Amino acid sequence: MVQTGYSPLGLTKIIMQNMKSDLKNVTIIGSGAWGSALADLVQRNDCHVQIWSRQSQSSLAALVSNSDAIISAVSIKGVRTIAEKLQTAKLLPHAVLVSATKGLEPTTGKTPSQIWQSLVPNHPLVVLSGPNLSKEIMEGKPAATVVASYNDDAAQFIQNIFASRNFRVYTNSDPIGVELGGTLKNVIAIAVGACDGLNLGTNAKSALIARSLIEIIRVGVYFGAQPETFWGLSGLGDLLATCNSNLSRNYQVGYAIAQGLSLDEAIAQVQGTAEGVNTANVLIEISDREKISVPVSRYVYRLLKGEITLQQAVEGLMERDLKPENLENLEL
């Protein structure tokens, strides 16, 4: 992804000037669990925050016209509609866009930042992702996240908007890697929720998490991410958070299936969006087309499609051909 359509030096100057001014106007798009938690974080700092959702009566274009930062926290299915609205809106020249969605678009296989980049290319884009269970953040518990951009100044600007005593924010220059860590772990959280639901034990769970990280990196490399990004907060960090907490909606889906619920029943009892279900479909399409080996995600996909039982998924993973661990060549 290359940022185009603006002068980086001119923009840097404007962003730096803006960082020095006192009150920042921030618009959060999406009033679900994550949009609300992000609004709460920004409010702790010296910012004027407004939230817009598709239920709002006000016009999004009018709302964002004076925003220094526009943060999208909608589910993947809403990203293109929202980006199209902003495509025609008149934004402040220095306005920074932030994508906080963790998903893949069903029709195109694109990441949220790729959608934003293609539709609103004249503004710097920052991806925000990390081990961030919204309920813990709303309770003021300590957490850390990553803001990643090809534009360092934009990333620093967003770092300052969010950072507080209880929320530590790191910058990073690999937005696609940061974004995919958050997206792909959702499929794995379904597998780990099912593993816990079956009470398969800590050895099984640890093996599942460690082997899954390898397949996440394989997919990340295909998308152009830096492999090392996945060892950080937005990769391993978020994988651990989501696979170790029953606050995770994706984990809850896997756990419920292990209790004998159908996928529809599992989704119905989860509050909010479990992106991993759609991500599994898109990921398998990509991996089939590009011949990327993603065995854990493939078993999750087949389980969700009803092609196999959970017991068959466990047996299938355990009975795969024996092979070297081969950490030197993650693309194999």
Ligand X SMILES: O=P(O)(O)OC[C@H](O)CO
Ligand Y SMILES: NC(=O)c1ccc[n+]([C@@H]2O[C@H](COP(=O)([O-])OP(=O)(O)OC[C@H]3O[C@@H](n4cnc5c(N)ncnc54)[C@H](O)[C@@H]3O)[C@@H](O)[C@H]2O)c1
SS3 331: coil
Residue 251 Cβ vs ligand X, minimum distance, rounded to whole Å: 6
Residue 145 Cβ vs ligand X, minimum distance, rounded to whole Å: 9
CB nearer ligand X, residue 117 or residue 242: 242
Considering only residues 74-103, where is the footprint of ligand Y by CB under 6 A? 74-78, 81-82, 100-103
Considering only residues 254-313, where is the footprint of ligand Y by CB under 6 A? 272-273, 275
CB nearer ligand X, residue 189 or residue 216: 189
Site string for ligand Y, 120-139 (x = CB under 6 A): ------------xxx-----
CB nearer ligand Y, residue 94 or residue 102: 102
Residue 292 Cβ vs ligand Y, minimum distance, rounded to whole Å: 22
Q: Of 110, 185, 205, 305, which residue is the catalytic one?
A: 185
Neighbours of 139 (CB within 10 A): 10
Q: Segment near ligand Y (CB under 6 A), from 7-15, 26-34, 190-198, 321-329?
A: 26-34
Burial 161-178 (b: 16+ CB within 10 A, else e): bbbeeebebbbbebbbbb
What number of chain residues touch ligand Y (CB under 6 A)? 26
Region of 142 please: left (phi>0), alpha (psi -120 to 50) or beta. Answer: beta
Positive or negative torsion for Cα 132, 46, 160, 151: positive
Instruction: Give the whole-angstrom CA distance, residue 81 versus residue 145.
Output: 26
Contact of 161 with 47, CB cutoff 8 Å: yes
Neighbours of 325 (CB within 10 A): 8
Residue ranges that bind ligand Y, judged by CB under 6 A: 30-35, 53-54, 73-78, 81-82, 100-103, 132-134, 272-273, 275
Q: Which residues are catalytic?
A: 185
